[in-house]
Amino acid sequence: MGDGLLGGLGSHKVRGKKIRNLSDCLKGVKKLQNGAEDGMPKSQKNYLYWFLLMIIVCSGVAGGGYFCYVSAVASVVLMSAVVCFLVRTGCFSISLDWNLVAIAVLVFGYFVVGLWAVDSGMALMGGIKFLPVFLYFFLMCQALEERERLIRFLPVLGSLMTLFSFVMMQFPVFLPYVSVAGRLAGFFQYPNTYALFLLVCLLISIYQIHLEHVDWMLVVHILAALTGIYLSGSRTVMALAVATFFLLFLFKKELRKYAALCVGIFLIAVMILAFCGFGEGIYRRLLVLAGNASTFLGRLLYDWDALKMIAAHPFGMGYYGYYFVQQEMQTGVYSVVNAHNEFLQIMLDIGIVPAILMYGAILRSILSKNTSERNKVVLLVMFLHGLFDYDFQFLALYFVLLLFLDVRNIKKVKISVLTKGTAVAALAVLVVLSGVVGTSEFLYVNRKPEAAVRIYGGNTLAKMELLSLAEEADELEELADSILEGNSHVSVAYSARARAAFARGDVEAFVENKLTAIRLAPYQYEEYLDYLAALVYSVKLYREAGDEESAKFCVERAKEIPRMLEEVKERTSSLAWMINDRPEVTLSEENMRLIEEME
C-alpha cells in the first residue's frame, strides 16, 4: 500500500514538474499554502489584511470618511501602498468584470465631470473624495481571501464605536462629535448611516452564530448593535431590521432562534433602561419615531425635484452641483447638500450611466449564485437604505460595500518599468492635489475660510463664507465676481453684488442683480423683503431730489413683487405644504400698504 501511495504521488504534476518523492510533494503543498502560486506570500497578504483593516477603522473614526480632507489623506496613503506593491511585485491581480467597470466609471467620472460641471473647482474636490474607493478595491483584489477576516472584524468595530460614543455622549464637550439632536451618531456624526453600519454588524453576528457555535462575544456584539440602532433613532434602519428579522423567522428555520434572541435581548435592554429611570425618555423617543412624517415627505420632495434636475443634466453637474442648482429648481423650502437617495445622487453628480453601472453591480452580486446568503442580505439592506439616505457619501460605508460584492474573473497582469514610473508620477501628482484640496477643506470646516481660499481658489464654499462676513462694497463685489466667475448659480453672490451696487447708489444695477438672486433662489423670502425695503427707500430719496422718473421705475418694480410671489406659489409642489418648513408666498398687510403708499 505504501508503494502504491508513493507511486500515485509520483504520477502527479505541480506546475508542469513531476513530484518525484513525498518530500517534494510536501514542499509544493507548503508553497501553495503560502500563496506562492499567485505571486504573493501569505505573510504579505497578512500585512495587506491589517492595512485594509486600518483604512476602514481610521475612516470610520474620522467622521466615517465624509469630509474631503479625510479622503485626501486616504488617497495618498492608499496610492502609496499601491505604488509600493507594484514596485516590489511587478504585477497585480484585478477583477475583469462588471465591478471594475462600475467602480472605475464612478470614481474617475468625478474627475471627468469637471469639464462641464456647475462648479469645476468643487468637482475636483469630488474626484479626490471618491478616489480611495477605486484604490481600496484594487488592493482588495490582491488578497480576496482576506475579505472574510475583514468582515468578521466589523462587529468588533461597531461594538467599540457604540461603547465609546455612548460614554462620550454623557460629556457636553464631546457631545457634538457623537450626537445629533440627542441621537447617537457614533463617530460618523450622522445617526442614520451609523445605524446602517450597526445593522450590517448585527447581520454578520447572527450568521456567524449560526455557522459556528454560540460565542458570548457575538451576543455582546448583537446587544451593542441593537442598542446603538435604537439610540440612533433611525426609523428607516429600524424598519429594515424588523423586516429582516421577519424574513429570517419566515424562511430560515435554523436562524429563527437567533433572530428571536435578538428581539429578546432588545426588549430586556429596554426594560432595564426603564427600570433605571429612563422610561420617560424611551416613551418620548418612540413618539418621535412614530409621529414625525415631515422628514419622509421632505425626502419625497427632494427626490421629485432631483428627477427634474437629472432630466436637465443627464451627464451630471459635478460634486456639489446639486447643492448649487437646488434652489433654482426646487418646488418647496429646503436646503440639503445631498438628495438622501444615493442612486439619484450619483446621477446628479456624474450622470445616469455611472449610477446604473454602480447599482447594477450591487444587484448583480445580490442575484449571483456565487454570493453567500449572508452577503446577499447585507447587500440588499445597504441597497435599500441607500435609496432613502446618503450612506455612500461616507468612505467607510463604501469600503464595507466592497467587501460583500461578488468579485470574480481575477486576472494577473504583469507591468513594465514604464508602468511603475507612471505609478510613481501619479503618486507625486496626487500628493500635491490632495494636499491642496484637503488642506483647503480642512481649514474651511474649521472656520478659517480666508486661509482655505488662499490654499485653493476653487473652494467656492469658503468664498461664500467670506462673502457672508464682508461688509465693504468693494470687498463684496470682488468676492461675488470671483464666485460667479466659476459658478453662475450662486444666488448669494448676486445678492452681494446688489448690496454693493445699492451702496454706490446704482439702483438699476441693484435691481438687476437682486432679481437674478431671486430667480436663482425663489423661496428665499427675506430677499423679497430686502428688495422691497430698498425700493421704498430709493423712492423716498428720488422724490426728495425731484427725480420722479426714477421714483416711478422703483414703484413699478415694487408692484411686481406680489405677482412674483404668486408665481412661486403656483410652482410649489403639494408635498411642500405637508412638511414643517412651508413656503412664505404672500406679503404682509403692512408691506402691501407700503407698496400702495409708494404710488
Q: What is the pLDDT of residue 246?
A: 80
pLDDT tens-digit series, residues 394-405? 999 999 999 999
Position 287 in a domain: no
The 10 Å CB-count burial string (b at 16+, else e) for 173-199 is: eeeeebbbeebbbbbbbbbbbbbbbbb
- Is residue 462 included in any domain, yes or no? no
Examine residue 565 and state whether it is found in any structural domain, yes or no. yes
Q: Give yes or no for residue 282 having a pLDDT over 80.
A: no
For residue range 493-546, what is the model confidence (pLDDT) as tens digits? Answer: 999 999 999 999 999 999 999 999 999 999 999 999 999 999 999 999 999 888
317 and 429 fall within a common domain: yes
Domain boundary among 212, 246, 267: 267
The per-residue pLDDT of the chain, averaged, comes to 87
pLDDT in the model for residue 6: 32
d(CA 263, CA 251): 17
Query: Residue 492 belongs to what domain range?
Result: 472-598
In a domain, 46, yes or no: yes
Say whether both 359 and 392 belong to one domain. Answer: yes
Quickly count helices (H) and strands (E) in the chain. 29, 6
The answer as to whether 370 is a domain residue is yes
Whether residues 347 and 389 fall in one domain: yes
**Terminal Cα distance for the chain, rounded:** 116
* Distance between CA atoms of residues 35 and 80, nearest Å: 23
Residue 254: burial class (beta carbons within 10 Å; 0-12, 13-18, 19+): exposed
Nearest alpha carbon to residue 38 among 100, 99, 91: 91
- Same domain, yes or no: 429 and 320: yes
pLDDT at 557: 93
| Residue at 17 is within a domain | yes
Residue 4: is its pLDDT beyond 50? no
Q: Are residues 198 and 138 in the same domain?
A: no
**Prediction pTM value:** 0.86
Based on the fold, state whether residues 22 and 59 are members of the same structural domain.
Answer: no
Residue at which a domain ends, from 399, 421, 442:
442
CATH assignment of the domain containing 510? 1.25.40
Q: In terms of domains, do 166 and 246 share one?
A: yes
Question: Are 437 and 304 contained in the same domain?
Answer: yes
Question: How do residues 175-228 score in pLDDT, each as one tens digit?
Answer: 989 999 889 999 999 999 999 999 999 999 988 876 556 677 888 898 899 999
Q: Does 304 share its domain with 425?
A: yes
Residue with grid cell 438628495, as numbered in its chain: 339
Of the pLDDT bands very low, low, confident and very high (cuts 50, 70, 90), residue 27 is very low
Secondary structure, 3-state, 185-243: CCCCCCHHHHHHHHHHHHHHHHHHHHHCCCCHHHHHHHHHHHHHHHHHCCHHHHHHHHH
Pair 581, 333: CB distance under 8 Å: yes
Do 316 and 246 sit in the same domain of this protein? no
pLDDT of residue 90: 85
Given pLDDT bands bounded at 50, 70 and 90, which one contains residue 283? very low
Give the pLDDT confidence score for residue 579 in this predicted structure: 87
Number of domains in the chain: 4
Tell me the average pLDDT across 418-424.
91
* Residues 416 and 504 both lie in one domain: no
Q: What is the mean pLDDT of residues 413-434?
A: 93
CA 408 to chain CA centroid, nearest Å: 27
Q: At what angle do helices 120-141 and 68-89 cross, to 10 degrees?
A: 40
Q: Are both 50 and 24 inside the same structural domain?
A: no
Write out pLDDT tens, residues 74-116: 999 999 999 999 998 889 999 999 999 999 999 999 999 999 9
State the pLDDT confidence band at 269, using cuts at 50, 70 and 90: low
Among 264, 224, 225, 265, CA closest to 241: 225
Cβ atoms 221, 159 nearer than 8 A: yes
pLDDT at residue 218, rounded to an integer = 87
Residue 338 lies in a domain: yes
Residue 97, amino acid: D
CA dist 362 and 122 (Å) reads: 28
Structure confidence at residue 262 (pLDDT): 65
Predicted confidence at residue 455, as pLDDT, reads: 96
Note the pLDDT of residue 42.
73
Mean local confidence (pLDDT), 471-481: 91
